[in-house]
Structure 1
Amino acid sequence: MPNSDASAKDRSTIRTLLRLWPYVRPVRTRLGAAAVVAIIASCTGLVFPLVLKWMVDGPVADRDVAGVWFGALLLLLLGVAEALLFGLRRWLVARPLASVEASMRADLFRHLQRLPVAFHDRWASGQLLSRGTTDLMLLRMFLAFPMTFLLVNSVTIVVGVIILLGQDFTLGLVLLAPVVPMVIACAYYEGRYATAARRAQDQVGDLTTVVEESVLGIRIIKGFGRHRSQARAFRELSHTLRGTELAKARILAAIWAVIVTLPETAIGAALVLGTVRVADGGLSAGTLVAFLSTALALRWPVESIGFLLAMTQESATATERYFEVMDAEPEDGAVAAATAGGPADSGAEDGLRFHGVEFRYPDAPPGAPPVLDRIDLHIRPGETMALVGATGSGKTTLTALVPRLHEVTGGRITLDGEDIAAMDRDRLRTLVAVAFEEPTLFSASVGENVLMGAVDSAGDADLARALDVAQAGFAHALPQGTGTQVGEQGLSLSGGQRQRLALARAVVGRPRFLVLDDPLSALDVHTEALVEAALRRVLADTTALIVAHRPSTVQLADRVALLSGGRVTAVGTHQELLRDNAEYAWLMSGADMPHAAEEAAR
C-alpha cells in the first residue's frame, strides 16, 4: 500500500475527483438539473431581503395595511417555493446516486476477482472491505451534497455580493474585507486536513481487519484464551483512530473559527456603520434592513464552506483509495497481450511439462534467491506424479503456477504442448482443477460448493459421483441433504468433511489435469483408504500432480518427484527413491535424518 501521507500531499483534489466522471456521466443530466434547481432555490432566498426593503420603505412607512399583508403573502409564497425546490433537488439526486454507488461497488468486486493472488497476499482484507463500504458511502454523500452545494453556494455568494454592492457600495466593501484572510486560512488548513483524513481512513481499514480476523478466528481466540490480547489490539487501534479523528476535529474547528468569526465581525461592523448612516439620513431604514438580511442570508453559504471543503477532502481521499485498487493490473491484462496472436498449435497430447521454471515473489528483496529454480519436470498424459519435499521446499508454490494463481518469472509451463501463458484463463481453469490443503467453503449449500468446480450444465448425477469419489456421503445425512447451508468458511463441518468437499469440487468437472495439494491430510486412516480407492478411478482418466507427505498418498502416483531447496533433485518410482535417495527415505520414514543420509541428500 502507498504511503498515505505522501499521497495526500502529492495529489490534486480536483484531478482526483475528476476520476469519478465515468460513473457520474450516465446520470449527469439529473445531477445537472438538481444543481440548477438548487441554485434557483438558494437565490430565491436572496429575494426575501428585497421584499423586506420594499415593505419597510413602502407599506410600513406609509402605514398601508393592505400592502403589508401583500408583502407577507409574497414572503410566504417565496418560502414555500424555496422548500419545494429543495425537495425537488433531493428527489432528483436520490436514485442516480444510489445507482452510482452500486455501479462502483460492483466494479470494485469484479475487479477484485480478476486481480492476481499476489495482490491479495499483499493487501489486508479489512483495507479492501473499507474501500467497498466506508469509502463508497463518503463518495455518495459527496455527490449528493458537497459537489452540488460548493457550486450552489458559490453562485449564491456571488449573486448576494452583487446585491449587497448594489444596495450600498460602502457597506458591501466592509463585508468583503474578510475574503482574503479566509482564502489564505482555508488554503493553509486544506493540506493538513487532507493528510489527517487519509490517515484516518487507512486506520479504519486496519481496524476492520482486526475485527474480521477476530470473528473468523474466534475458535483460536477462545481456545487459547487470547480474548484479552485481541481486545487490547482493538483498543490500541481504536485509540489511535480516536487521536486522528480528534486531530481532524481540531483542524476543522480552526477552519470554522476563521470562517465564522471574520464574517460575523464584518456584519457587526456593517451594522454599526449602517445604523449611524440611517441616523444621519444618509441611508434608508429599508435599505439597511435589506442589506443586513442579505448578509445574514449569506451566512450559511459562507460558513458551510469549511464543512464542504472538509467533506470534499475526505471524498478525494476515498476516491484515491478506491482507485488504488482499481488501478492494480488484473490478470486479464497479461492474457490479452499473450493471446493477441492466437494460441499455439498444441499438437498431440504431451501432458504437463515444466520447462526451466523459475519463480520469485513480487515483493521479494532484490538479490533474494528464487523460490523455485530451473524446474524441469514432465508428467505424461494420464500419469499421476506425486510431489514430495520438506516444509518450505516450494511444493505449494509449484502447484499454484499450473492454474496461474501466480505467474512464472522464468521458463514456461505447457499443457499438451501449449504454453499456459498464452491461454485464456477461463479456458485454462476449465482444463485444470485444484484442491488445496486448506479447503475453503462458501456460505452456500453443500451442492453449490461442490458444483463450483463444474460447468453450469452439471447436475445431480455429477454431484453424486463427485461426493462418492471424495467419500463425502455424509452430505446426504445433513438436515437438508446437499441443500444444507454450510455457513461461513464451512466451519459448521469438521476439517475432514471440508477437505472431502473440496476434493469433490476438484473432481466434479472431470478435468483433464488435476492438481491436488495434500488433499487427504485431515482424514483418518480408514477414510483416507476409501478416498484413495475411489480416487484411483479418477486418476486413471486424468493427468495429475499431487503434493504428498505420507506414503499412502504417494502410492497413488505412478512416479514421484523430490523437491529440495526449490529444485527437483530426483524423479522415480516410490520404491526406486526409497532405495536410492536418502532424503526421500528420511521424508517417508518420519525419523530423524541420520548424518550419513543427510550428507547423501546434499
Structure 2
Amino acid sequence: MSASAHAPEDAPARKRSVVRSLLRLWPYVRPVRVRLFTAAGVAIVAAGMSLVFPLVLGWIVDGPIADGDTGGVLAGGLLLLVVGLAEALLFGFRRWLVARPLAGVEAAMRADIYRHVQRLPVAFHDRWPSGQLLSRATGDLTQLRMFLAFPLTFLVVNATMIVVGCGLLLHQDRVLGLVVIAPVIPLIVVCLVFERHYSVASRRSQDQIGDLTTVVEESVLGIRIIKGFGRHRSQARAFRELSQRLRSTELRKSRLLGAIMAVIYGLPEFFLGGALVLGVLRVADGSITAGTLVAFMAVALALRWPVESMGFLLALCNEAATATDRYFEVMDEPLPADDPPSPAAGAAARAAAASPGPGAAGGMRFENVTFRFPDAPPGTPPVLDGIDLHIRPGETMALVGGTGSGKTTLINLVPRLHEVTSGRITLDGEDIAALSRAQVRQRVAVAFEEPTLFSATVRENVLMGAEEAGSREFARALRVSQADDFVAALPAGPETQVGEQGMSLSGGQRQRLALARAVVGRPPFLVLDDPLSALDVHTEARVEAALREVLADTTALVVAHRPSTVLLADRVALLSGGRIAAVGTHNELLNSSDEYRYLLTGETRGALVR
C-alpha cells in the first residue's frame, strides 16, 4: 500500500501519430460506421445552416431594406427562423444517431479488455498495478466514447465549415477574404507545436490518474491494516503527494491549452478587425455594397466558433489518442497459447507421454523442472532448479521447505499459473504443456494460502470450483471443510452474500470455504497451499479427519508447515534452495534430515549433536 508506482515527473511521451493511434479504434467503430457517418453528414448540414444566415442577411440589407419593402423584411425574418429551427432539429437528430451505437462501442471495448485481462498470465498481473488496469477499463473508455460522440464529429464539421466559409469569403470579396484568411498558416504552426507538448502532459496525467486509483483501491481493501496500525496519516500523505503531482500536470495542461486558445482567439480577431475597417472604407468608396459587407462579416463571425474551438478539439484528440494507446498497451500484451503450438507438436507430446520411460508413469511427475521468472534480470539464479519429483496415483505428498525455498512457485506451475522454463510436468503421463489450460484446470483443483472470496453468495463462491456440481456435492464439500455448521448459521445460509473479499467472515471461515471450493468437483489432482494455516487446533483436527476421505481418491500435493498437516501425507518432499533435497516418509526424514527436523520441530543443529 504505497505510492511507489507512479509515473515519473519527466516521463517522455512515446513518439506516435495521433491519427495512427485513433485509427486503431476502427475495428470497434466499423459495425456502427453507417450511423456515425450519417450523424457526421447531418452535423455538417446543420452547421452549414449557420452559413445561410449571412447570405439571407445580405439579401435583406441590399433588397427589402434598401427598397423599403416591409413584406420582404418579414419574409426574410421568417426564413431565418425556419433555418434556425432546422439547425436545432438536425443537431438533436445527430445526437440521437450516435448515443446508442457509441454506448455499444464502449461496452464492447470494456468487455474485450476484461476478457483479455482475465486470460493474461499471472506474471502480467505481478507487474501491473490494479489501479492502472482499472483506469484503462473505466475512465479511458468513457473518454473515448465522448471523443467519438463529440470532438471527432466536430473536427470534421468545423474543418468543412472553415473550408466552405473561406470559399464564401473569397467569393464575396477577394481582398477582404485574403485579409481574414491570412492567419491560417501561423495557426497551423502553433497547433503543431501545441500537439507535441500537450501529448506529453496528457499521457503523464492519465498515468498519474491510474497511480492515484491504485492508492485509493489499496487503501479501501487494506482499511483494517491502516486503522489497526494507525497509518491513516501516512496513507493520506501518499495520496496527497500523488494528488499534487496530478494537480501540477493538470495545471500544465491548462496553461498549454490557455496559451493556444489565446493565440487562436486573438490572432483571427486582429485580422477580422482589420477586415472590418477595410470593408467600411470599401463601402464608402462604392467598391462593395453595405449588404455585401454585412454578409461578409456575418460569415466571418460564423467561422469564429469553428476556428476558436480547434484548440479545445485538438486537446481532446490528444487525450483520446493517449487513452487509445493506454487501452491497447493492455490489449497488445500477448496471450499465452492455450493449445499445443501445432498438431505436430501435440502429436509429439502425446507420443512422448505414451512411450516407455519415466514420463509414462501415472500420477503427477516433475521432470527436471526449472523455473525463472520471465522478467528476471539475465544471469539471475532460477527459483526452481532441476526439480524431479513423482507423486504416485492416489498418493498425497507433503511439500516442506523454508521461507523462500520456492514451494508456492512450484505448486503454481501445476495449474499453469506460471509456465516452466525448462523440463516438464505430467499428469497421468500427459505433458501439461500439450494440454490447453482449460483441460489442465479441469483436472487440477487448487486452494491457496491466501483465500480469496468474491462479492457473491457462499454457494456461488464454492461452486466456482465446479459449476456443474449439484446440491449433494456442495453439501459434501462443506462437510469436508467443516464449513457446514457456520454456513448454516449465516443469516441466509448458503445464499448469504459474503461481501467484498469475504471480509465479513473470519480468516478461518474464508479458508474453509476456499478448501470447499477446491474439493467440490472431486478433482483427480489436488494442489493445496497450507490450507489449514488459519484454523484452530480443534477445527484443524476435524478438517484433517474429513479431508482424509477426499485425499484417498485423489493425487495431491500439499504445502505443509505443521506436523499435523504433514501427517496427512503418504510421503514428504523437502524443498531447499529451489531443489528437492530429500523425499521419504515423515519418520524417515525426521531421522535422516537435519534441515527437515529443524523445520518441523524447531530443534537447532547444536541440540541435534547433543
TM-score with structure 2 setting the length:
0.96
Counterpart residue number, 2:397: 385
Contact 1:349 1:416 in 2 (8 A): yes
Query: What do the CA deviations read for 1:57-91 (whole angstroms, capped 9, x no partner)?
Result: 00001110000000000000000000111011000
Corresponding position: 1:470 with 2:481 = yes
| Structure 2 CA distance for aligned equivalents of residues 208 and 593 of structure 1 | 50
Q: 2:91 aligns with which of 76, 86, 92?
A: 86
Q: Per-residue deviation at 1:44?
A: 1.3
Counterpart residue number, 1:235: 240
Counterpart residue number, 1:171: 176
Corresponding position: 1:357 with 2:363 = no
Counterpart residue number, 2:339: 335
Pairing of 1:27-106 with structure 2 (within 5 A): 27-106=32-111
| Structure 2 CA distance for aligned equivalents of residues 334 and 16 of structure 1 | 29
Query: What do the CA deviations read for 1:538-582 (whole angstroms, capped 9, x no partner)?
Result: 000000000000000000000000000000010000000000000
Counterpart residue number, 1:453: 465
Q: Per-residue deviation at 1:337?
A: 1.9
Corresponding position: 1:215 with 2:226 = no
Counterpart residue number, 2:437: 425
Corresponding position: 1:368 with 2:374 = no
Counterpart residue number, 2:164: 159
| Structure 2 CA distance for aligned equivalents of residues 236 and 460 of structure 1 | 52
Q: Per-residue deviation at 1:413?
A: 0.5
| Structure 2 CA distance for aligned equivalents of residues 221 and 2 of structure 1 | 21
| Structure 1 CA distance for aligned equivalents of residues 64 and 340 of structure 2 | 78
State the one-letter code of the partner of 1:175: V
Counterpart residue number, 1:542: 554
State the one-letter code of the partner of 2:413: L
| Structure 1 CA distance for aligned equivalents of residues 200 and 389 of structure 2 | 52
| Structure 2 CA distance for aligned equivalents of residues 574 and 126 of structure 1 | 45
| Structure 1 CA distance for aligned equivalents of residues 135 and 462 of structure 2 | 30
| Structure 2 CA distance for aligned equivalents of residues 337 and 248 of structure 1 | 48
CA RMSD of aligned residues (A): 1.6
Counterpart residue number, 1:512: 524
Q: Per-residue deviation at 1:457?
A: 2.4
State the one-letter code of the partner of 2:488: H
Q: 2:210 aligns with which of 205, 209, 217?
A: 205
Pairing of 1:284-323 with structure 2 (within 5 A): 284-323=289-328
State the one-letter code of the partner of 2:42: V
Query: What do the CA deviations read for 1:287-318 (whole angstroms, capped 9, x no partner)?
Result: 00000000000000001100000000000000
State the one-letter code of the partner of 1:156: M
Counterpart residue number, 2:283: 278
Counterpart residue number, 1:567: 579
Q: Per-residue deviation at 1:341?
A: 4.8
Contact 2:401 2:574 in 1 (8 A): yes
Task: Identify the range of structure 1 (224-233 vs 4-13) with the bigger mean alpha-carbon deviation.
Answer: 4-13
TM-score with structure 1 setting the length:
0.97
Q: Per-residue deviation at 1:12?
A: 1.1
| Structure 1 CA distance for aligned equivalents of residues 241 and 609 of structure 2 | 51
Contact 1:338 1:421 in 2 (8 A): no
Counterpart residue number, 1:145: 150
Contact 2:597 2:603 in 1 (8 A): no
Q: Per-residue deviation at 1:366?
A: 1.1
| Structure 1 CA distance for aligned equivalents of residues 19 and 340 of structure 2 | 33
| Structure 2 CA distance for aligned equivalents of residues 339 and 363 of structure 1 | 30
Instruction: Give the 3 Å change call, closer, same or farther, for CA 169–524 of structure 1 in structure 2.
Output: same
Paired residue secondary structure (1:451): helix
State the one-letter code of the partner of 1:311: L
Paired residue secondary structure (1:452): helix
Query: What do the CA deviations read for 1:11-50 (whole angstroms, capped 9, x no partner)?
Result: 1111111110000000000000000000011111101100
Query: What do the CA deviations read for 1:382-424 (whole angstroms, capped 9, x no partner)?
Result: 0000000000000000000000000111111111111101101
Query: What do the CA deviations read for 1:201-239 (whole angstroms, capped 9, x no partner)?
Result: 000000000000000000000000000111111111101
Contact 1:583 1:597 in 2 (8 A): no
State the one-letter code of the partner of 1:395: K
Q: Per-residue deviation at 1:267?
A: 0.7
Contact 1:388 1:561 in 2 (8 A): yes
Q: 1:195 aligns with which of 195, 200, 207?
A: 200
| Structure 1 CA distance for aligned equivalents of residues 17 and 68 of structure 2 | 58
| Structure 1 CA distance for aligned equivalents of residues 144 and 29 of structure 2 | 11
Paired residue secondary structure (1:264): helix
Counterpart residue number, 1:501: 513
Paired residue secondary structure (1:370): coil
Equivalent pairs, count:
596
Q: Per-residue deviation at 1:2?
A: 12
State the one-letter code of the partner of 1:524: D
Query: What do the CA deviations read for 1:133-161 (whole angstroms, capped 9, x no partner)?
Result: 11001100110011111111111110000
| Structure 1 CA distance for aligned equivalents of residues 198 and 607 of structure 2 | 64
Structure 1, unpaired ranges of 5+: none
Paired residue secondary structure (1:563): strand
Instruction: Give the 3 Å change call, closer, same or farther, for CA 141–223 of structure 1 in structure 2.
Output: same
| Structure 2 CA distance for aligned equivalents of residues 428 and 342 of structure 1 | 15
Query: What do the CA deviations read for 1:476-504 (whole angstroms, capped 9, x no partner)?
Result: 11000000000000000000000000000
Counterpart residue number, 1:444: 456
| Structure 2 CA distance for aligned equivalents of residues 558 and 9 of structure 1 | 57
Q: 2:250 aligns with which of 240, 245, 249?
A: 245
Contact 1:9 1:191 in 2 (8 A): no
Counterpart residue number, 1:590: 602
Q: Per-residue deviation at 1:255?
A: 0.9
Contact 1:437 1:519 in 2 (8 A): yes
State the one-letter code of the partner of 1:408: V
| Structure 2 CA distance for aligned equivalents of residues 384 and 538 of structure 1 | 10
Counterpart residue number, 2:357: none
Q: Per-residue deviation at 1:594?
A: 3.3
Query: What do the CA deviations read for 1:88-145 (whole angstroms, capped 9, x no partner)?
Result: 1000000000000000000011111100000001000000000011100110011001
Instruction: Give the 3 Å change call, closer, same or farther, for CA 188–9 of structure 1 in structure 2.
Output: farther
Structure 2, unpaired ranges of 5+: 355-359
| Structure 2 CA distance for aligned equivalents of residues 222 and 593 of structure 1 | 41
Contact 1:354 1:377 in 2 (8 A): yes
Q: Per-residue deviation at 1:590?
A: 2.2
**Identity of paired residues, percent?**
70
| Structure 1 CA distance for aligned equivalents of residues 297 and 343 of structure 2 | 71
Paired residue secondary structure (1:560): strand
Contact 1:511 1:542 in 2 (8 A): yes
